[in-house]
């Protein structure tokens, strides 16, 4: 909520948009992002914690029983100091989770439509991120009545690395618990190829210097969006990308095969933050999106953004009848 303490969460555009979607019947998930990257966590029984929980209450007043899933913490280990991972982090988030559970019990009890999960674990393909703090996170989620499971964000370089997330989380879930995947991608693989030269065939077709680096070509597309065909050709002619064009389908099937997946969500369009100050060291998140809305122009006469290569068709194919909700496509007052 940042500086909106006085007006409350209803004035936050993201939350109001989410609530409108909920009113229409869409499934909705809200994560409580509580970053402490540059400061220590407040002690559980301190006035600082009381102040923070008062802000949390403003959100709960607005979204409880309206959103389907509320996640306590966004990316807690990324959004904290490493020195706090094995103690203060757990003390803090457990206090917040217990507060959220108590709020739900007081206001709606067992009839609440809002399910509670613990926030997303990252980098579980790296040993140091599977340490004492992560073990405590899973134990708290498993033993706490009212917590439905945990979220994971497997941004990886391979399917094998994504499986390491599942190998860590799934065996540590309690009976009846499941996991969310509110973010996932191959962005770590894409990063490895940003300084590669563009494919020679692509350079010849579009009369570009063969010495042009991939990141430089992407920057050109950001500054002056290409045709959909040119954008898709860059990806199709790049073996590191084209060889993974079915990755989205394969990855979701891996999640589903555990029998423990609650929800997986995926990014739809390229956002402004993905393209701002794009350079060789910036994570190429924009290669993940279903639509190349900032790097390519729509097809002639099309009213929808240009499509990325591969993800769009895979995403459509993954939709199952049993997952669909009755959605009202008419207007909803804001």
Tens digit of pLDDT for each residue in 170-201? Answer: 999 999 999 999 999 999 999 999 999 999 99
Cα 137-139-38 angle, rounded to 5 deg? 15
Q: Is it the case that residue 298 has pLDDT exceeding 50?
A: yes
Residue with tokens 């991972």: 85
Higher-confidence residue: 234 or 334? 234
Q: Give the list of residues 6+ apart from residue 46 with CB closer than 8 angstroms, or none.
A: none
Identify whether residues 117 and 160 lie together within a single domain.
Answer: yes
Half-sphere exposure of 261 (CA within 13 A, CB side): 16
C-beta of residue 296 within 8 angstroms of C-beta of residue 231: yes
**β-pairing, 69-72 with 29-32?**
parallel
Tokens of 81: 């100091």
Residue 332 placed within a domain: no
pLDDT in tens, 235-263: 999 999 999 989 999 999 999 999 999 99
Tokens of 298: 């729509």
pTM of the predicted model as reported, rounded to 2 decimal places? 0.94
Domain boundary among 184, 199, 214: 184
C-beta of residue 249 within 8 angstroms of C-beta of residue 310: no
d(CA 60, CA 106): 12
Q: What is the CA radius of gyration of the chain?
A: 21
Q: What is the mean pLDDT of residues 273-289?
A: 97
Identify whether residues 99 and 227 lie together within a single domain.
Answer: no
Domain boundary among 114, 149, 184: 184
d(CA 147, CA 141): 6
Residue 168 placed within a domain: yes
Identify whether residues 233 and 107 lie together within a single domain.
Answer: no
Name the nearest CA neighbour of 254 among 322, 152, 150.
152
pLDDT of 334 reads: 40
At 9, the pLDDT band (50, 70, 90 cuts) reads low
Identify whether residues 17 and 143 lie together within a single domain.
Answer: yes
Residue 265 placed within a domain: no
Residue 61 placed within a domain: yes
pLDDT in tens, 154-175: 999 999 999 999 999 999 999 9
User: Per residue, what are the HEC states of 159-221?
Assistant: HHHHHHHHHHHHHHCCCCCEEEECCCECHHHHHCCCCCECCHHHHHHCCCCCCCEHHHHHHHH
Please state the domain count of the chain.
2
Identify whether residues 302 and 229 lie together within a single domain.
Answer: yes
The CATH number for 49's domain is 3.20.20.80
Domain that holds residue 50: 1-184
Higher-confidence residue: 316 or 330? 316
Identify whether residues 175 and 232 lie together within a single domain.
Answer: no
Residue 330 placed within a domain: no
Q: What is the mean pLDDT of residues 88-103?
A: 98
Domain boundary among 169, 184, 199: 184
Average confidence score pLDDT of the chain: 93
pLDDT of 331 reads: 54
pLDDT of 186 reads: 98
Identify whether residues 134 and 238 lie together within a single domain.
Answer: no
Name the nearest CA neighbour of 287 among 209, 213, 191.
191
Identify whether residues 47 and 108 lie together within a single domain.
Answer: yes
Identify whether residues 179 and 193 lie together within a single domain.
Answer: no
Helical packing angle, 228-236 and 214-223, nearest 10°:
170
Identify whether residues 286 and 317 lie together within a single domain.
Answer: yes
Identify whether residues 66 and 152 lie together within a single domain.
Answer: yes
**β-pairing, 261-264 with 29-32?**
unpaired
Identify whether residues 175 and 211 lie together within a single domain.
Answer: no
pLDDT of 23 reads: 94
Q: Is it the case that residue 6 has pLDDT exceeding 90?
A: no
Residue with tokens 């490895």: 192
Q: What is the mean pLDDT of residues 31-45?
A: 95
Q: Is it the case that residue 136 has pLDDT exceeding 80?
A: yes
At 10, the pLDDT band (50, 70, 90 cuts) reads low
Alpha helices in the chain (DSSP H): 13-24, 47-63, 88-107, 132-143, 159-169, 187-191, 200-205, 214-223, 228-236, 239-242, 247-257, 272-275, 311-318
Residue 250 placed within a domain: no
Residue 334 placed within a domain: no
Residue 203 placed within a domain: yes
Percent of the chain surpassing pLDDT 90: 85
Q: What is the mean pLDDT of residues 118-140?
A: 98
């Amino acid at each position: 909520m940042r500086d909106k303490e006085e007006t409350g969460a209803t004035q936050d555009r993201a939350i109001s948009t989410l609530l409108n979607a909920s009113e229409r019947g869409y499934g909705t998930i809200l994560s409580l992002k509580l970053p402490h990257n540059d400061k220590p966590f407040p002690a559980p029984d301190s006035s600082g914690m009381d102040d923070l929980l008062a802000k949390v209450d403003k959100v709960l007043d607005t979204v409880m029983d309206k959103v389907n899933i509320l996640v306590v913490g966004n990316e807690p280990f990324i959004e904290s100091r490493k020195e706090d991972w094995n103690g203060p982090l757990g003390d803090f988030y457990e206090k917040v989770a217990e507060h959220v559970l108590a709020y739900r019990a007081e206001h709606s009890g067992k009839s609440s439509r809002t399910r509670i999960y613990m926030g997303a674990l990252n980098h579980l393909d790296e040993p140091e991120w599977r340490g004492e703090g992560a073990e405590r996170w899973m134990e708290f989620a498993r033993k706490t009545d009212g917590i439905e499971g945990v979220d994971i964000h497997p941004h990886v370089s391979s399917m094998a690395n994504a499986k390491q997330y599942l190998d860590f989380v799934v065996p540590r879930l309690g009976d009846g618990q499941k996991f969310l995947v509110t973010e996932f991608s191959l962005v770590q693989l894409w990063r490895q190829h940003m300084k590669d030269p563009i494919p020679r065939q692509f350079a010849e077709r579009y009369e570009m210097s063969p010495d042009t680096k991939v990141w430089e070509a992407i920057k050109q597309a950001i500054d002056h969006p290409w045709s959909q065909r040119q954008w898709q050709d860059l990806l199709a002619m790049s073996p590191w990308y084209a060889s993974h064009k079915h990755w989205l389908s394969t990855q979701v099937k891996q999640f589903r095969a555990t029998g423990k997946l609650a929800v997986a969500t995926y990014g739809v369009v390229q956002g402004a933050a993905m393209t701002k100050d794009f350079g060789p060291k910036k994570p190429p998140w924009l290669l993940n999106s279903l639509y190349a809305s900032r790097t390519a122009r729509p097809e002639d006469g099309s009213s929808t953004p240009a499509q990325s290569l591969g993800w769009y068709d895979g995403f459509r194919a993954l939709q199952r009848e049993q997952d669909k909700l009755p959605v009202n496509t008419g207007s909803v007052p804001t």
